[in-house]
Structure 1
Amino acid sequence: MPAFDPAKQPADADAARALLDRVLVDTEAFGPDVRRSSPFESRPGRWPVLDADCVWQTSGLPPGVLATRTRYFHIPAGDGRGRVRISATVTVHRDPSGSGWETAQAMEEVLRCPQQVLGAGERLQNLWGASLYLGEQLNGWTEDAFSESGEYVGEEDGGPHPYVWSQGQFGPVTMAVAGRGAAGVTAQAVRALVVQGTSRMMLQAHGALAKEG
């Protein structure tokens, strides 16, 4: 894993948004069956917050976050399976300590709320998470690795279906991919999509922020 170059730390929101464009993946990162969803990207300047009742809300960006963006994808239903949904998120912090705190907060959230309400008749249940520092067990790809697994249930999609989420960090950047399965789709298949997306974004973050040589 290369070293982060502090000279490449984005200094303001404009530079952070330019970095998002370099790190975020598109459909080709996941395979030929994946399509862009509508809406394709999240609204700028919004930040997800898990409230005291374990319900996801949105607010403005925290002071330590320069920019964040989420892209939404899906695999259409067909061939005996339902629709698979994927989201990819990249966040740029003002310094590397912010990305570390974000990863720690993700672990706190799953411990506090193993059942979470997404809104619009959707929820996550039976969640569990695991966090590994660089070098622990099989983590050789990120400074801190955080993964979350459980079940997704939705009024439109039914369920419960497999749910997998993975987050990594490099310097001031965190990158995460979430996958929601469907009827006829295994947890292993969802996890493979998540790994493809996070691996690609980590490589692109290295290309944008690593020391040369």
Structure 2
Amino acid sequence: MRDRPGFGLRARGCVVAGLFVLAGCSGGGGGADAAKGAASRTLSASPASSASSGTGSTGTPTAPGASGAPLVPELDESRQPKTAAEARALLGRIVIGQAAFGPEVERATPFESDPRRWPVLDQDCVWQTEGLPPDVLATSTRYFQIPAKDGHGRVLINATVTVHHNRQESGWETARAMEEVLRCPDQKLRDGEDLKGLWGGALHLGEQMNGWTEDAFTESGKYVNTAQGGGPQPYIWSQGQFGPVTLAVAGKGAEGFADAALNALVVQGTSRLMVNTKQELAKAAP
């Protein structure tokens, strides 16, 4: 879920798939009509029963590759956390540090969100925080930055991992993310910080080259920070899902920092989180 207020061959494969997702969502094609269609698909079918992809023996959606093998491994339901304590332990094995993004990225201050709080977009399109809802066992957001230097401003990155009880709950999180964009294309993060002109798209596994996640959601628009001055900067949010876990990375650009470099950082972080999640929850290969 969003936090607003406040590798090997397997990894490289995730990066390539993630780049296709971001490329498809960063050019503005499709607009609101495409977003509404994606939201309708997500809301009308849980990931475990999607008609757009097959399912494994435990309900894991699968999209066959050229060899007929699934592009996303099968979920081992016995490894899903059942308590908040187990979910927090799982988070500790999935979350990433600044090294996952490369040597230029540093920890920001604050570095981690309050694990007892949850972001909620109110009816006025302003982000607030509340206690964790019943469907969330544990959540963590970490904040990173590339300090202003070499002719560019300060770049902000955050990485969020949320653990639910099951896949149905994590699927509804993706559906809510889509609904938020449709309802509030302009959103206030806090005083002096806003997101403008947001639009998003959701892709089930196997749709439009999505081979890296059961349900992909990407949101893009402009980030405005009046304290930093200057014009609006690029903003992108990329979210994936495996079983009961959702994971996401958001990037807020800066003057003089290339859009392609921001996209690459988001893909790199999201891919690393997905690799970690699959290593923890996928069935062992026979």
Asked if these proteins are the same fold (TM beyond 0.5), I'd say yes
CA distance in 1 between counterparts of 2:129 and 2:74 reads 33
CA distance in 2 between counterparts of 1:7 and 1:120 reads 44
Identity of aligned residues (%): 65
Quote the residue 1:40 is aligned against.
111
Mapping for residues 33-182 of structure 1, pairs under 5 Å? 33-158=104-229, 159-182=231-254
| TM-score normalised to structure 1 length | 0.98
Residue 156 of structure 1, CA deviation: 2.2
CA distance in 2 between counterparts of 1:79 and 1:186 reads 12
Secondary structure of 2:161's partner?
strand
Q: Does 1:210 align with 2:277?
A: no
Contact 1:56-1:116 at 8 Å conserved across structures: yes
2:262 pairs with 181, 184, 190, which one? 190
Contact 1:85-1:179 at 8 Å conserved across structures: yes
Secondary structure of 2:263's partner?
helix
CA distance in 2 between counterparts of 1:9 and 1:76 reads 38
Residue 66 of structure 1, CA deviation: 0.2
Secondary structure of 1:207's partner?
helix
Q: Which runs of 5+ in 1 are unaligned?
A: none
Higher strand share: 1
Q: Which runs of 5+ in 2 are unaligned?
A: 1-71
Q: Deviations over 1:32-81 (max 9, x none)?
A: 00000111000111110000000000001110110001000000100000
Secondary structure of 2:232's partner?
strand
Question: For this pair of structures, how many residues does the alignment match?
Answer: 213
What amino acid maps onto 2:93 in structure 1? R
Secondary structure of 1:137's partner?
coil
Quote the residue 1:26 is aligned against.
97
Range moving further from structure 2, 40-49 or 186-195: 186-195
Residue 118 of structure 1, CA deviation: 0.2
Report 1 or 2 for greater relative contact order, CA contacts < 8 Å, sequence distance ≥ 6. 2
Residue 189 of structure 1, CA deviation: 1.6
What amino acid maps onto 2:193 in structure 1? E
CA distance in 2 between counterparts of 1:170 and 1:11 reads 16
Residue 186 of structure 1, CA deviation: 2.5
What amino acid maps onto 1:91 in structure 2? T
1:12 pairs with 75, 83, 86, which one? 83
CA distance in 2 between counterparts of 1:187 and 1:115 reads 21
Contact 1:163-1:187 at 8 Å conserved across structures: no
Residue 188 of structure 1, CA deviation: 1.8
Q: Deviations over 1:6-52 (max 9, x none)?
A: 00110101110011111111111111000001110001111100000
| TM-score normalised to structure 2 length | 0.74
**Larger Cα-atom Rg:** 2
CA distance in 1 between counterparts of 2:80 and 2:208 reads 29
CA distance in 1 between counterparts of 2:255 and 2:140 reads 29
What amino acid maps onto 2:225 in structure 1? G
Quote the RMSD (CA, aligned, Å).
0.7
Contact 1:157-1:182 at 8 Å conserved across structures: no
CA distance in 1 between counterparts of 2:262 and 2:220 reads 10
CA distance in 2 between counterparts of 1:96 and 1:58 reads 24
What amino acid maps onto 1:98 in structure 2? E
